[in-house]
Amino acid sequence: MQIVDVSELCKALDLEQIEVNIFRGTNHDIGAHHVFGGQVLSQALHAAMLTTPEDRIAHSMHAYFILPGDLQHPIIYMVDQVRDGGSFTTRRVKAIQNGKDIFIMAVSFQLKQEGLEHQIPMPEIIPPDDLQSDQDLLSQFSDRLPESFKRFLRPRPIEFRPVDPFDFILPEKRDPIRHIWFRAKGELPDDLALHQRILAYASDYNLLTTAIQPHQDEIQIYQVQLASLDHAMWFHRPFNMNDWLLYEVDSPSASNARGFTRGSIFSRDGSLVASVAQEGLIRPKKK
């Protein structure tokens, strides 16, 4: 099933409670051979939220992808209620398929509290209204794309508008930094927890491809095996996925068949709303 609207995405990411602290989630296909990492991040965060008092807001999550998820089977999420403190709540989530752990994550929640405030500035960048979506850009060259990439040419519930588009036709060496505007397609209700779940989903896009950019004179992206290994995320301030957010992504290092990437997510008014870090497998495919 192709999901084209964020309301459809919310339904696809929803969980069924089958026992205390145990939930079941279904999968959707984004064009990859395995379950999309953003789906598992979002569903695991949701499972943790379902066991946490509503007055506590998720502020950080740290995850490891252990095995590829099978699209043909549901995923079971088991939550360990580690701690309920005076200000902070900690949850540990395990995702299981076919009797094996495929993913683990720790999530921390906090009461809303007053404290010191500062942030890095948002870069001055071309506004989203002056840009095309990545899907529109790809469609212009669909007849020249490798077959392995044509399956990604499908409607998506999140719209991405790259400031500096990835060139799949004539790739050239670039610095490992990108800027991408994105927002939900459709309308989300005013529910911060739901917006956090959708942002966790969207945050898994555009990271590892940034680590390829300095090497495009040596190898093209469709010749590389990419897989997320871990993913960390911090929620700093409230935000709205119905409006444009700016994803500033860079890759400080690649070594030993791994690429390390970081992301800063800004609201349109310049507020830093979230930060992301991810390391992933990056190695040439076997011929």
Q: Which two tokens stand for residue 36?
A: 């999309």
Residue 24 bridge partners (DSSP): 16, 76
The answer to whether position 118 is within a domain reads: no
Radius of gyration of the chain (CA): 19
Domain count, the chain: 1
Catalytic residue among 204, 213, 250, 267, which? 204
The answer to whether position 120 is within a domain reads: no
The answer to whether position 1 is within a domain reads: no
Q: Which two tokens stand for residue 145?
A: 């794309």
Tokens 């209700």, residue located:
189
| pLDDT tens by residue, 188-204 | 999 999 999 999 999 99
Residue 248: CATH number of its domain: 2.40.160.210
Is position 278 annotated as part of the catalytic site?
Answer: yes
Confidence tier at 23 by pLDDT (50, 70, 90): very high
The residue range of the domain holding 206 is 6-112+131-284
Model's pTM, two decimal places? Answer: 0.94
The answer to whether position 121 is within a domain reads: no
The answer to whether position 70 is within a domain reads: yes
Q: Which two tokens stand for residue 14?
A: 């929803």
The answer to whether position 19 is within a domain reads: yes
Is position 255 annotated as part of the catalytic site?
Answer: no
The answer to whether position 209 is within a domain reads: yes
Mean pLDDT of the residues in the chain:
92
SS3 117: coil
Q: Beta strand pairing status for 272-284 and 224-235?
A: antiparallel
Rounded distance between C-alpha atoms, residue 179 and residue 201, angstroms: 18
The answer to whether position 75 is within a domain reads: yes
Out of 21-25, 118-122, 217-221, 252-256, pick the least confident: 217-221
Q: Using an 8 Å Cβ cutoff, are 105 and 123 in contact?
A: no
Catalytic residue among 39, 196, 228, 264, which? 228
Is position 167 annotated as part of the catalytic site?
Answer: no
